[in-house]
Chains A and B, each alone.
Chain A
Amino acid sequence: MTFIKKTLASSIALAAATVMATSAQAEMSDGEVRIGYLADMSGTYRDLAGPGGLEALNMAVEDFGGSVNGAAIDVFSADDNNSADVGANTVRGWIDQDNVDMVAGMVASSVVIAVTKVLEENDGLGIISGSAASSITNEHCTPNHIHWVYDTYPLANGTAKAIVDQGGDTWFMLTADYAFGHALEGDVTKVVEENGGEIVGGVRHPFPTSDFSSYILQAQGSGAKIVGLANAGADTVNAINTASQFGLTQAGQQLAGLLVFLNDVHAMGLETTQGLLLTTGWYWNMDDESREWAERYYERVGRMPTMVQAGIYSSTMHYLKAVEEAGTDDPETVRAQMAEMPVNDFFSRNGRIREDGRMVHDMYLAEVKSPEASTHEWDLYEILATIPAEEAFRPLSESQCKLVQN
């Protein structure tokens, strides 16, 4: 092709694109924006994302008007059964067969890591809202995914630092014996020691465990002021319940739940959890904007949203805006567009997407209310402090991500 022909061709294409800008189907693969929602719909993590997260995603699609630049938005969903196998296969199928443009949800870190490998290999795009592992945007980072809500770094940085500052300087760690637990334990140990505290003991329990009495007894025997729970979901709930039965807090020790979700507190009740300090990415009752959205969600689902469910709405909205702005659903272009636009909505304050795929935003230190202070079923947290976006997450200077030049 000669130079003139090339120029001609490209200017025609440009003109065509301008003409079609209002109905940009040509720029959207298959004339549709396809979003796949992958999460644990039936297992341990069902209640923190699960069907409620899908509902949040559908809300975002509806609020956006159901289409982007004239291209309809189509939502797929699947249960990953907390299995890396199932998750990776589903996403592979979505990309190969259904041309899904973006994958949302994703909870268990094993599933997330497997899925991001598939996304990287097939040039897809994923936005992770559920998972805790900070490794997702550290050693496992790819240019094809974004981590939206929280990770183990701010959990440690928020909760552990606040507790050491309040004088809780000797810790006993109760750690779930797998990668996430180890990572959280590592992050907490670092924060505690940097702030002048000390880890006096710890125990790693199998995942999952239903009987924590033995470990609680060991924690009581350790003499530590703080018992840190580096576990999640049912394990945390069991550990807190058992601690309450054994009078751990009455005897002067304090629990630090490092990863506690709204649904966990709701399930355990305030009697058991009152006074628990925790770090959260969002709380439904933290301001008017959040409340307004949360109440709409409540009407549809019958439960108040967790930070993960809110994050799914927020990230989907941001994605759709980026698609609209870029005029295409091509993953690479949309990813770049998303990073260019700051994230400020009911969920995220001062949010932006870093080059390692981490969405940094303000995090919050919260305390679980006492039964007397709570006015209704879902009135569970008191927000004590805001952890600014820039401090909350692992700084890029410490990053091992291949996308970050250090």
Chain B
Amino acid sequence: MSTTQTLTPTMKRQRRANLRRNAFYLILIVVGMVAPFLAYPVFLMKVLCFALFACAFNLLLGYAGLLSFGHAAFLATGGYITGYLLASYPAMTPEMGIIAGTLAAVVLGAAFGALSIRRQGIYFAMVTLALAQLVYFAYVQSPFTGGEDGLHGVPRGELFGIISLRSNLAMYYFVFAVFLIGFAIIQRAVHSPYGQVLKAIRENEPRAVSLGYNVDAYKLVAFILSAGIAGLAGSTKTVVFQLASLTDAHWHMSGEVILMTLLGGVGTLFGPIMGAGIVVSLQHMLGQSPLGNWVSVILGVIFVVCVLSFRSGIVGEINKMYHKNFK
């Protein structure tokens, strides 16, 4: 901009924040590009899928103030639909499967949202939990999911019918691209005027109503968006691991994504990514160590510590420190 001298202090601060955010994006992309040469790509893909899932969840909790206890339903729906289509129709390419899975999650999200959006706080959490339990039941019963045995043998296939995703490296860059797209959509939504209204509703709903905003519609859009991206994460995960199972639909999964978000920092941009990274790494490392049996205890302790004295999460605490020391 050529008119720097006319900027107000607020605008300057805004610009600095934007600059800082862009720097973060750049770091994120560079780290993501080199990561598969430093760590096991399959592990990284798992982190990315859960990071996207946590980001989607964070959109709802952090920016709309809605705690959903049923987000596993969207992860599982994306996964099952994509897995089923790819396994049954060899002509399907992975990106078509993923789009279909995401759309299915969007539709389910619209249904969930329509039923639950008028409830608040604990009621909202309980209604989403109940709806997710119904979905879980449907997946246990439906023949196409394989029930308890799960859905297996999903081919990774060829992206756009050309690029084979069989190698972990090719698969990784595809997953990374999907993650960036999902992440960009969330960022775009949060920083748009729509996102501002959403935050206003979170802070003071009656005031937003009195200003003439259709609060329910705003929340519903957030819910559907969050569900769709959770579905995208589930679909991608299924392509990576070539299977879909009931684990993803279980209410424990809904609890896990809350933990990831809480640990990283609710309402922060990078918190959910960091939280997902930590939780997935913990499970990965502890699962194969003598401490393997203690994973759920350790997750529980993290939960308690987070709630008691660490509520802003890791990224949130860092932000606080930054603001205290440099402002």
**Contacts from A to B (Cβ < 8 Å):** 41-42, 76-79, 81, 83-86, 88-90, 92-93, 96-97, 109-110, 113-114, 117-118, 133, 177-180, 206-207
Contacts and interface: CB of A to CB of B under 8 A. Distances in A.
Residue of A83, A86, A110, A118 contacting most chain B CB atoms (<10 Å):
A110
A315 to B, nearest CB: 21
> A interface, by DSSP: helix, strand, loop or mixed?
helix
B241 A179 contact: no
Contacts of A180: 148-149
Closest 10 CB pairs of A and B: A178-B148, A84-B245, A83-B247, A84-B150, A179-B149, A79-B292, A78-B288, A110-B149, A42-B293, A110-B150
B96 interface: no
Contacts of B243: 84-85, 88, 114, 117
Interface of B: 40, 42-43, 46, 140, 146-150, 152-153, 168, 241-243, 245-248, 283, 287-288, 292-293, 295-296
Given A84-B247, A113-B150, A113-B152, A90 B288 contact: yes
10 contacts: A41-B292, A79-B293, A84-B245, A86-B283, A86-B287, A110-B149, A117-B152, A177-B140, A178-B147, A206-B140
A175 to B, nearest CB: 13
B142 to A, nearest CB: 12
B69 to A, nearest CB: 20
A371 to B, nearest CB: 33
Given A114-B152, A178-B140, A85 B292 contact: no
A114 B168 contact: no
A105 to B, nearest CB: 13
Tell me if B's interface is mostly helix, strand, loop or mixed.
helix
Given A41-B293, A90-B287, A93-B42, A85 B241 contact: yes
A368 B209 CA distance: 70
Contacts of A85: 241, 243, 245, 247-248
B287 A78 contact: yes
A110 B296 CA distance: 21
A84 B146 CA distance: 12
Contacts of A97: 40
Nearest to B45: A89
Nearest to A109: B149
Nearest to B290: A77
Given A41-B293, A42-B292, A83 B149 contact: no
Given A85-B243, A117-B242, A96 B148 contact: no
A72 to B, nearest CB: 19
Given A86-B247, A109-B149, A207-B140, 12 more contacts: A41-B292, A78-B287, A78-B288, A84-B243, A84-B247, A86-B287, A89-B241, A110-B150, A114-B245, A178-B147, A179-B146, A179-B148
